[in-house]
Amino acid sequence: MTVRASRAYAAIIGCGRTKFSELWDDSMSDLMLDSLISALKTADIEFKDIEAMFVGNFIAAKIIDQGLVAGELAQSLGTHIPIFRLEGACASAGLAFYNACLGIKSGKFDIVAVTGVEKMTDRGEIVTDALAAAASNWERFYGNTFPGLYANIMARHMYEYGTTREQLAMVSVKNHQHAINNKFAQYPFPIKIDSVLKSPLVADPIRLLDCSPVSDGASSVILCNPEIAKRYTETPVYVTGAGAATDALALFAREDFTGLTATKLAAQQAFTEAKIEQKDVNILELHDCFTIEEVTALEDMKFVEKGEGGPFIGEAVDSFKGSKHIVYPCLSGEIVVNCGGGLKADGHPVGATGSRQICELWEQLVGIAGKKQVDLDTDLTTGVAHNIGGTGGVGSVHVLQI
């Protein structure tokens, strides 16, 4: 066993996902199963090899009136294995993945599955209200909404650091560009800066094309004890760092809201554990629920200095000459962010996003991402996934290495 394997939490041996879209013909169980079966196929194992499942789901109890998702899944699978549902709003699957890693590391389980799922579009009329449950009661009492809260963050960032509307629009432009070759993406087509800037205003200064969509979908990851990973694959991807942190739910209860403390702390932990620096990262999945969040995450994770996220993205997108991916000239290396389109263009079925990010990084690191495979001058060895719940009340960061 390599040094990397010996200090890893777990090894990823397979991943699978559904398309993210409006999937009215599929139930929540259908989506969970579809993604799980795909993941089992890539790992070349059978369901009977899975000893436990960690499920990320935010709000099935409210949107589709189905609580106890674990029992629903057990019934579909005809299984009796332990199934744990983790909930941390949009970070639910990131936190499920984190606990699955602890489950493997503890020695309790050798092989587990992580499945994130959300079924949102059947009940479009209640989904906005339902999601708002992840914001603070006081913020909602005074009429604020999720886009409204991120609009507060965006407006303040623009005010403090001179971040421009154009720079922010470029986050969407970049992520749509990355989704073009992603067959699972909800919006696999390019958009122009002008389309973002002229899209309807949702909560000033956030416009429609700054927002990730409402989606149905599921994604699954198979994790195993790193000591036995080579039995299943020649190319295990190791989880070498796992960070998680929380913050006050309400923006008004924080010292500063031009960045997220949960991101900062989770990244710091994960990077320290993995013994990596920012320059070692080749591919990065950031939680771009709104365009501003990709900017602040780059800053919070110290890929750029505070306040420089906007110009940094702007220059990268401006200098894009039409190859597949827009490459950020990061520190001493190069980095591709949201390789398959991120939340904005790939889609954002809330509880499925954290595990979708892991799927994306796994495909890229193993080199089986097909048409959307990232091609840099250096080998892809290190990926990082950043998953945020609410407006940063919780967050997780994981380091994956091959």
Give the interface with a second copy as residue ranges (CB under 8 A).
9, 52, 58-59, 61-62, 65-75, 78-89, 95, 98-99, 101-103, 105-108, 130, 133-137, 242, 244-250, 253, 261-262, 265, 389-390, 393-394
Q: How far is the CB of 144 from a second copy (least distance, A)?
A: 14
Nearest CB to a second copy, comparing residues 126 and 201: 126
Q: What is the distance between the alpha carbons of residues 217 and 349, in angstroms, rounded to a whole number?
A: 6
H/E stretch holding 42 reads helix 28-43
Between 81 and 197, CB nearer to a second copy? 81
3-state DSSP assignment of residue 249: coil
Nearest to 315 by CA among 330, 299, 305: 330
Structure tokens at 32: 């969970």
d(CA 180, CA 364): 16
In whole angstroms, what is the distance from residue 344 CA to residue 290 CA? 7
Q: Are 302 and 265 in contact (CB under 8 A)?
A: no
| In the complex, minimum distance from the CB of residue 390 to a second copy, in angstroms, rounded to a whole number | 5
**Would you say 355 and 101 are in contact if contact means Cβ atoms under 8 Å apart?**
no
Tell me the sheet residues that pair with 219: 17, 116
> Which parts of 18-76 are beta strand (E)?
52-56
- Closest CB to a second copy among residues 153, 250: 250
Task: Select 18 or 261, whichever has its Cβ closest to a second copy.
Answer: 261
Give whichever of 106 and 332 is closer to a second copy, judged by the CB atom: 106
Name the DSSP class of 188: -
Q: Please state the closest distance from residue 272 (CB atom) to a second copy, in A.
A: 13
Return d(Cα 361, Cα 398) in angstroms, integer.
11
Smallest distance from the beta carbon of 70 to a second copy, in angstroms?
Answer: 5
Helix (H, G, I), strand (E, B) or coil at 233: coil
- Sequence letter at residue 5: A
* β-pairing verdict for 335-337 and 283-285: parallel
Record the tokens describing residue 373, joined without a space.
Answer: 């495979």
Catalytic residue IDs: 90, 348
User: Which residue, 335, 338, 363, 239, is CA-closest to 278?
Assistant: 335
SS3 of residue 56 by DSSP:
strand
Question: Are the C-beta atoms of residues 283 and 182 closer than 8 Å to each other?
Answer: no
Q: Which of 386, 385, 163, 146 is nearest to 295 (CA)?
A: 163
Q: For residues 89 and 336, which CB has a smaller minimum distance to a second copy in the complex? A: 89
Phi and psi, residue 41, nearest 5°: -65, -45
Residue with Cβ nearer a second copy (79 or 235): 79
107 vs 200, which CB is nearer to a second copy?
107
What 8-state DSSP symbol labels residue 239?
A: E
